[in-house]
Structure 1
Amino acid sequence: MAELLPVVVCYARPQQEFSQLMHVAPGTTIGQAIEASGVLAAFPEINLVTQPVGIFAKKKTLDTVLRANDRIEIYRPLIADPKDSRRKRAAKKDAAAARPAA
């Protein structure tokens, strides 16, 4: 019998996180591990059709075969575009620097 592979399924919301250590058979895909983990029952808002998934911050498809010690991550949609956020911070910093000293 083939040895089981340890993997972790992770999902996080601002105030709550899910992390489930599992042991899966060789040949198990990301999608199969996510379904077996119970995360979809715990967080019904997860939609694997629209939400990307990955392993260690690298986007992957649901049919990617897992390897030992993979960390499967389910990503939430971004609330703000990081580029826009940086531009706003830079503009605010520039405005503060342009103000005359009191």
Structure 2
Amino acid sequence: MAPAEAHELIQLELVWSPQAGDVRHLCLSARAGDTIEAVLRACPAFADQLPRLAELKIGVWGRLRPLETPLRERDRIEVYRPLTVDPKEARRQRYKDRGQRIISRHRPLGGKTGP
């Protein structure tokens, strides 16, 4: 990296959810070539999540990346927290509570509806 590029600032997005129902979005600037870990450690709004940094999964634009990944202009850093409930179990519970079949809007029933 050339010395002039080392001081160039890039614009980034940071998105994370510290708990269910709470999604946070932050626009920030960093030096060109900074890693994901350096940006997260320098962000005061993310400081409460730093002790758990090793157990969180981190991605850039929806793809998992290691903390050592250098960032580029307009990258979107996404921090994924662990699931608290197995998705299949959550669906079973919803079915039990509603008492009716859960129909997905993304898959046609394929002629299974009838009189």
Instruction: State the 1:61 CA deviation.
Output: 0.5
Q: 2:87 aligns with which of 79, 82, 87?
A: 82
Distance 1:45 1:27, change over 3 A: closer
How many percent identity over aligned positions? Answer: 28
Distance 1:5 1:45, change over 3 A: closer
Distance 2:59 2:71 in 1: 11
Instruction: State the 1:40 CA deviation.
Output: 3.6
Unaligned ranges ≥5, structure 2: 102-115
Greater relative CO, 1 or 2 (CA 8 Å, sep 6+): 1
**Structure 1 residue 4 corresponds to structure 2 residue 17:** no
Amino acid at match of 2:52: N
TM-score by length of 2: 0.65
Map 1:32-71; keep pairs closer than 5 Å. 32-41=38-47, 43-44=48-49, 47-71=52-76
Which SS does the other structure have where 1:54 is aligned?
strand
TM-score by length of 1: 0.72
Question: Which moved further from structure 2: 4-13 or 75-84?
Answer: 75-84
Distance 1:82 1:30, change over 3 A: same
Instruction: State the 1:21 CA deviation.
Output: 1.3
2:20 matched to which residue of 1?
14
Tell me, yes or no, if the aligned pair for 1:56 and 1:72 is still in contact at 8 Å. yes
Tell me, yes or no, if the aligned pair for 1:9 and 1:33 is still in contact at 8 Å. no
The root-mean-square deviation of aligned C-alpha atoms, in Å, is 2.7
Instruction: State the 1:17 CA deviation.
Output: 3.1
Amino acid at match of 2:23: E
Which of structure 1's runs of 4+ aligned residues deviate more than 6 A? none
